[in-house]
Amino acid sequence: MSVTQVEVGVGRLAALLHELPAAGVFVVADERAAAAHPAIGAAVDARTSFVVPSGEEHKTWATAEALLLALDAAGIDRDGLVLGVGGGVTTDLAGFAASLHRRGVGWIAAPTTVVGAVDAALGGKTAVNLGGGKNTVGTFHEPLRVVADPSTLTTLDPRHVRAGLAEVLKTALIAGGEAWDSVLALDLAFDLDDAWTDATVADFGAIIERCLATKLDLVTRDLHDVGPRRTLNLGHTFGHAFEALALPELLHGEAVALGLICAARAANNVSLETTIRERLKAWQLPLSPPPPARDVDALLTEMLRDKKRAGGQHTLIVPHAPGDVRVEEGVKETRIRKALAAVLEG
Amino acid sequence: MSVTQVEVGVGRLAALLHELPAAGVFVVADERAAAAHPAIGAAVDARTSFVVPSGEEHKTWATAEALLLALDAAGIDRDGLVLGVGGGVTTDLAGFAASLHRRGVGWIAAPTTVVGAVDAALGGKTAVNLGGGKNTVGTFHEPLRVVADPSTLTTLDPRHVRAGLAEVLKTALIAGGEAWDSVLALDLAFDLDDAWTDATVADFGAIIERCLATKLDLVTRDLHDVGPRRTLNLGHTFGHAFEALALPELLHGEAVALGLICAARAANNVSLETTIRERLKAWQLPLSPPPPARDVDALLTEMLRDKKRAGGQHTLIVPHAPGDVRVEEGVKETRIRKALAAVLEG
């Protein structure tokens, strides 16, 4: 069983901040989120806290050290609590520090981005980047609660919202059935560059709830990521390589979008690849990587260092069809080269 | 259940090094142990490895980073293995890095010191020191095996052997009964400054086996250190404070020796305190701390930051009698001041 209680809804973050005790709670907040949302900014000011500079380049061993020193200086005990408020960078860091401080204290994840809400905050995979690789160092430490308030999404850069939709597509592809159909039928009923309406916020609330249900099921069955949970890496073995070579030009979700196209190519499923392309295009996501991430050999080298490889062989998550996503071991390099061509050709 | 298989015996380390596969094993070795034992030095040279400079002052966040970078550079996979060979500093660091690399790989502890063999290597409490406190940051990550070869002790500085006997005394005090009687009756049959005989090595093998059995029982019942395992902190709440203030003058075991006297005083058990004093004196262990660690207020401040304190109250492990060691919550500061006087008076 997962220990995590999932709560999705408008107003949930404000309620959480209100109900937490005054003492023994340490807030780890994303810099941008703290500036954009008065309630988060007020929590940072009122409590012992640490502000994480925005951006994947700050998810480092050095930032984790600074955060752990702040937790120590704040006198957070073994029965203390860490609250991570922000995107995947912030919740990964908050969870990582919570798992190490006094050999582990409880934590709550309050995602404020689409990627964070539909994917990163849930599941207990905490990490920082070290040695040039992504998430090379980390722990499994499930949050006690994931509190996703879709109203926090309304201040995001539209590009970040779009990037998050790649993770939504990934999760729906794993779930298949109604979840897949609903994402394909999704009429977001708004231009992401315009102001958000209550209806759009509600739409995102529904998307988040559905994605978290799919993920919670996989995490409950396989916390340590050795069985069915590995399907959640769909698009990520490729994606991490694009991301590593093109940082900071490519957002995580954008890299995953490219990875999904490659994964469909690896499955030899032409109609699925076409459907994915069309969906990503409609959401204005990239269909090919920027120049620094167009070198096949460099991409292969990055994939080889990826932690999803075990025992010296490539492991790939292959979407044969919606609802039929498989972990395939012993994949040959030629097949990966062909899959990468899906976004490099033309 | 503990996942750890415990093996004690002369020749066990050489056998372990011989049986490990050539690839996928990363050796973390204490600098002194690698220099003193040709088999360890050869393993460092033949395999991917990292040498830990000797001394508690190297058990840091920075050393952990260097070790994790080396594990990454060596391409150790999720199915790789870390072997830690050395004292508590080395096995704490090796276990810590193993718990974080790729979110956790297996590890084996091969202790080469008395403290390491009877205490530090077993139980999965990994850590580094950060922010001035001891073991402020760490994980629970049990080794797959603890391989304790008493022949590795023969090259130790006698002072380090004596310091380790304080942990032996602590463990016997927790176990009580025959374990306690046998430690009191212990005739080590040698002057620690002389050469070791086979009989002495065998004596230490028996001591280590007995201590590890006591500890394994507690760890099996309470891995996460929230129940009976906490009795293993006997002497350590005081000891960490002495150690923090007197580093590097005081060895860990010497600090624990002082802590045991204080703990007996806190129990108001005069005859037990006398017995402990006599035993420590016979082993030439200190009965009072060096000047930097004689300031009661500074010691109290250090104890307040100790992680054994929860919820703002002092928690103390109190030895009412051999075999009757209790965790006592809500201990008042005046009682701790009186206990500290046991080693500061006169």
- What CATH number is given to the structural domain containing A137? 3.40.50.1970
pLDDT at B193: 61
Is residue A149 in a domain? Answer: yes
Question: Is A104 near chain B, with CB under 8 Å?
Answer: yes
Q: Which of A68, A137, A310 sits opposite B79 (nearest CB)?
A: A310
Q: A51 with A103, same domain? A: yes
B205 domain residue, yes or no: no
Which of B102, B137, B140 has the CB atom closest to A136's CB atom? Answer: B102
Choose one of B136, B155, B174: the last residue of a domain. Answer: B155
CB of B78 within 8 Å of a chain A CB? The answer is yes
To the nearest whole angstrom, how far is the Cα of A237 from the nearest Cα of chain B? 14
B-contacting residues in A 145-204 (Cβ below 8 Å): none
Asked whether the predicted pLDDT for residue A76 surpasses 60, the reply is: yes
| Shortest distance, CA B79 to any CA of chain A (angstroms) | 7
> What is the structure's pLDDT at A288?
97
In this prediction, residues A94-108 reach a mean pLDDT of 98
CA distance B77 to chain A (A): 6
Q: Would you place residue A188 in the very low, low, confident or very high pLDDT band (cuts 50, 70, 90)? A: low
Residues B142 and B180 placed together within one structural domain of the fold: no
Block residue for tokens 């459907």 = A275
Residues B7, B148: contact at Cβ < 8 Å?
A: yes
Q: Which of B68, B79, B139 is nearest residue A311 as measured by Cβ atoms? A: B79
Number of domains in chain A: 2
A61 interfacial to chain B (CB closer than 8 Å): yes
Residue B306 has a pLDDT of 55
Give chain A positions within 8 Å (CB) of B125: 103
Q: Which of B61, B125, B310 sits opposite A103 (nearest CB)?
A: B125
Mean residue pLDDT across chain A: 93
% residues pLDDT > 90 (chain A): 82
Same domain, A125 and A109: yes
**Of B155, B172, B201, which one is at a domain's C-terminal end?**
B155
A60–B contact, CB cutoff 8 A: no
Q: Using CA atoms, how far apart are residues A139 and A224, in angstroms rounded to an integer?
A: 10
For residue B119, give Cα distances in angstroms to A152, B67, B115, B116: 49, 23, 6, 5
Q: Is A131 close to B73, i.e. CB distance below 8 A? A: yes
pLDDT tens string A6-22: 999 999 999 999 999 98
Q: Output A314 or A177, whichever has higher pLDDT.
A: A177
Mean pLDDT for the stretch of residues A156-162: 91
Per-residue pLDDT at A45 exceeds 80: yes
Pair (A284, A141) in one structural domain: no
Q: Which residues of A touch B225 (CB under 8 A)?
A: 103
Q: What is the pLDDT of residue A306?
A: 55
| Interval A321-335: pLDDT, tens | 999 999 999 999 999
Q: Which of B17, B151, B164, B146 is nearest to B94 (CA)?
A: B146
**Cis omega before residue A248 (within 30°)?**
yes
Q: Flag whether B95 is in a domain.
A: yes
Kindly report the nearest CA distance between residue B314 and chain A, in angstroms.
Answer: 12
User: Quick one: pLDDT at residue B307?
Assistant: 46
Residue A189: pLDDT over 70: no
Whether residue B50 sits in one domain with residue B166 = no
B164 and B313 both lie in a single domain: yes
Task: Assess if residue B216 is contained within a domain.
Answer: no
* Tokens of residue B308, six digits: 């054994």
Encoding tokens for residue A79? Answer: 């029965």
A125/chain B closest Cα distance in angstroms: 8
Contacts of A307 in chain B (CB under 8 A): 77-78, 102-103
Structure confidence at residue A172 as a pLDDT band (50, 70, 90): very high
- How near does any CA of chain B get to the CA of A240, in Å? 15
Cα–Cα distances in Å, from B82 out to A65, A313, B101, B108?
23, 20, 10, 6
CB pair distance less than 8 Å for B72 and A309:
no
The first and second tokens of residue B247, run together, are: 């580093």
Mean pLDDT by 10 residues, chain B (346 residues): 92 97 96 97 97 94 98 94 97 98 98 96 96 91 98 93 95 96 74 76 93 96 94 95 90 96 98 96 94 94 66 83 96 93 90
List chain B residues with CB under 8 Å of A305. Answer: 72, 75
The pLDDT tens digits of the residues spanning A277-312 come to: 999 998 899 999 999 999 999 999 888 775 444 555
pLDDT (0 to 100) of residue B176: 97
Pairing of strands A48-52, A106-111: unpaired
Q: Of B86, B120, B88, B91, nearest to B107 (Cα)? A: B91
Strands B81-86, B314-321: parallel, antiparallel or unpaired by DSSP? unpaired
Cβ distance A77 to B309 less than 8 Å, yes or no, reads yes
Asked if residue A205 is part of any domain, the answer here is no
A248 touches chain B (CB under 8 A): no
Q: A-chain residues within 8 Å CB-CB of B127?
A: 103
**pLDDT computed for residue A28 by the predictor:** 98
Shared-domain flag, residues A300 and A276: yes
Cβ of A101 under 8 Å from any chain B Cβ? yes
d(CA B213, CA B317): 20
Structural contact between residues B97 and B109, judged by C-beta atoms closer than 8 angstroms? no
Instruction: Supply the Cα-derived Rg of chain A in whole angstroms.
Output: 19
| Placement of tokens 């054994």 in the chain | B308
Q: Are residues B94 and B162 in the same domain?
A: no
Which residues from chain A sit within 8 angstroms of residue B310, using beta carbons? 77-79
**CB pair distance less than 8 Å for A131 and B101:** no
Structural Rg of chain B based on CA atoms: 19
Least CB–CB distance from A61: residue in B65, B104, B224 = B65
The reply to whether omega before B248 is within 30° of 0 (cis) is: yes
Domain that holds residue B174: 158-185+224-344
Specify whether A91 is located in the same domain as A178.
no
Residue B69 forms contact with A (CB below 8 Å): yes
Indicate the Cα dihedral angle B180, B181, B183, B187, nearest 10°: 180
Domain boundary among A138, A155, A172: A155
Residues B141 and B168 in one domain: no
Q: Which residue from B102, B125, B130 is facing A307, i.e. has the nearest CB?
A: B102
Choose from B103, B141, B229 for mutation: most chain A CBs within 10 A.
Answer: B103
d(CA B117, CA B203): 13
> Cα separations (Å) of B327 from B267, B299, B331?
11, 20, 10
Asked if the Cβ–Cβ distance from A127 to B103 is below 8 Å, we say yes
Number of A/B CB contacts below 8 angstroms equals 94
In whole angstroms, give the CA distance from residue B270 to residue B106: 45
Does any domain span residue A11? Answer: yes
CATH of the domain at B291: 1.20.1090.10
Supply the pLDDT for residue B308: 46
> What residues of B are in contact with residue A99 (Cβ under 8 Å)?
139
For A230-253, write each residue's pLDDT tens digit: 999 999 999 999 998 997 899 999
Q: ipTM of the assembly?
A: 0.91
User: Do B276 and B180 fall within a single domain?
Assistant: yes
Q: How far apart are CA A197 and CA A199, in angstroms?
A: 5
Residue at A215 is within a domain: no
Q: Given the structure tokens 């809400």, which residue do they identify?
A: A117
Phi, psi (deg, nearest 5) at residue A186: -60, 115
Regarding whether A181 and A120 lie in a shared domain, the answer is no
pTM for the model stands at: 0.92
Contacts of B140 in chain A (CB under 8 A): 103-104
Query: Does residue B330 belong to any structural domain of this protein?
Result: yes
In chain B, the residue whose alpha carbon lies closest to the alpha carbon of A136 is B102
> In terms of DSSP bridges, do strands B324-331 and B314-321 run parallel, antiparallel, or are they unpaired?
antiparallel
Three-state SS at A174 = helix
Phi–psi pair at B107, nearest 5 degrees: -150, 160
Which pLDDT band holds residue A130 (cuts at 50, 70, 90)?
very high
Q: Is the pLDDT of residue A201 over 70?
A: yes
pLDDT over threshold 50, residue A84 = yes
CA angle A74, A77, A80 (to 5 degrees): 90
Q: Do A67 and A28 meet the contact criterion of CB atoms below 8 Å apart?
A: yes
Band (A313; pLDDT cuts 50, 70, 90)? low
Residue from A206, A210, A228 nearest A219 by CA? A228
